[in-house]
Structures are given as structure tokens and as C-alpha cells.
Amino acid sequence: MSRRRAVVAVAAALALALTVPTAAAAAWRASTSAPAFSLSTSALAAPVTTCTSKPAVLGLSSYAQISWSPITDATSYTVTATNSANGATQVVATGVTATTIDITGSVLTSLLASVVRALLDGGTVVITVTAVTQKWTSPPSNGQPVVLSSLVGGLLGGVKCQN
């Protein structure tokens, strides 16, 4: 066989080998989609709060007790005080696992003056609660305004629900 014929034969063999599919490449494949279904992320509902005025007893000043119904999937709650006059907001407590919190004069006076000033000016501080789980927070609850219990009581740190 001449060299030219040998070269042609080798080239033909290579071309044939490349065009013949391998077993893996020849395997059949079929696809389909699962029937449609839906899913959504959950959402934390806003707590609904109530306010109860607690009278002064045994040397303790009067205070306002804020309560709310537990929120499904919430792991804790954050309580916030807002100056109704200027909208300044301060966090009263975070990581609250109970569904009540007592708002006393001492609690409010621990906040910045921007919030407490509302009380001293005869205004109100509005308490709201948000439900929390991980980084999710619910919309704020309805606000519960609290005021000084009285001029004398206020000087002693007493507060009460406005309504």
C-alpha cells in the first residue's frame, strides 16, 4: 500500500470513529415538569394591644399594663414608646417573650428626654408592640397612649392609660 493510500485509510478511520456515537451519548432522555403548585412565605401579624391602668399600692407608683394576644410564629416582641408630639421613638424593651409589659414612670424616664418630654409637657407617650422572629418584624400594633397619672403622681413617677 502506498503512503498516500495509508494516509487516506487512517483519515477515514478517524472520521468514522468520531461520527459513531458512544453508548452514553446515545442514551435517551425525556423531561417533564411537575404539576404547578404554590407556596408563599409567611408573615407576622400585628399584635393587638390593650392597656390597663394599675393603681399605686404599697408605695409603688401607678403604672400602665400593656397586654396583647400572642402572635403565631413570633419568638419575641419589641415594645416601643413614641412621643406623640414630635414622633420621636425609643425602644422600651426587646426580646420580650411574655405578652404583657408594665409601663412605669421609671421605665419611661430611662428613655431619652425626647420621649419623656411629652409627658412633662402634658402630652402622651404612645406604646406599640411588634412581633419578631429572626429578622422578621410585624407591623406595629395599635398604639396605647399613656399619660402621667396626676400631677402629684407624675412627680412620683406614676403613669396611666389615657383612656
Partner 1 sequence: MHRRDDRVPRRVRWTAVLVAALVLGPGTVAAHAVWSDRRPLTAGVTSTGSLGAAASWTGSWSAWKPLLPGRSSDTAALRVSATGSGDTLRWRVNAAASVSAALAPYVSTQVFVGACGTGTPLPAGGYAPAGGYALGASVDLCLRVTLDPSAPSTTQAIALTPQITITVDQATS
Give the one residue of 67, 73, 76, 114 binding partner 1; rule: CB under 8 A: 73
Give residue 115's identity as a one-letter amino acid code.
V
Q: Please, what is the minimum distance in Å from the beta carbon of residue 98 to partner 1?
A: 21
Our finding on whether 43 is near partner 1 (CB under 8 A) is: yes
Q: Is 28 in the site for partner 1 (CB under 8 A)?
A: yes
Q: How far is CA 57 from CA 61, 104, 113, 138, 153, in A?
A: 7, 13, 27, 35, 12
For residue 134, state whether it binds partner 1 (rule: CB under 8 A): yes
Among 2, 19, 41, 97, binds partner 1 (CB under 8 A): 41
- Options 31-39, 78-86, 87-95, 99-107: segment touching partner 1 (CB under 8 A): 31-39
When the beta carbons of 32 and 97 are compared against partner 1, the nearer one is 32
* By the rule CB under 8 A, 16 interacts with partner 1: no
For residue 100, the number of C-alpha atoms closer than 13 Å in the C-beta half-sphere is 10
Cβ of residue 49: shortest distance to partner 1, in angstroms?
20
Q: Which is nearer to partner 1, 17 or 39 (CB)?
A: 39
The verdict on 115 binding partner 1 (CB under 8 A) reads no
Q: By CB neighbour count within 10 A (0-12 exposed, 13-18 middle, 19+ buried), where does 145 fall? A: middle
CA atoms of 6 and 100, how far apart (whole Å): 95
Give the residue among 62, 81, 18, 66 at the shortest CA–CA distance from 156: 62
Cα–Cα dist 62/103, whole Å: 9
Q: Which residues bind partner 1 (CB under 8 A)?
A: 23-24, 27-35, 37-44, 73, 133-137
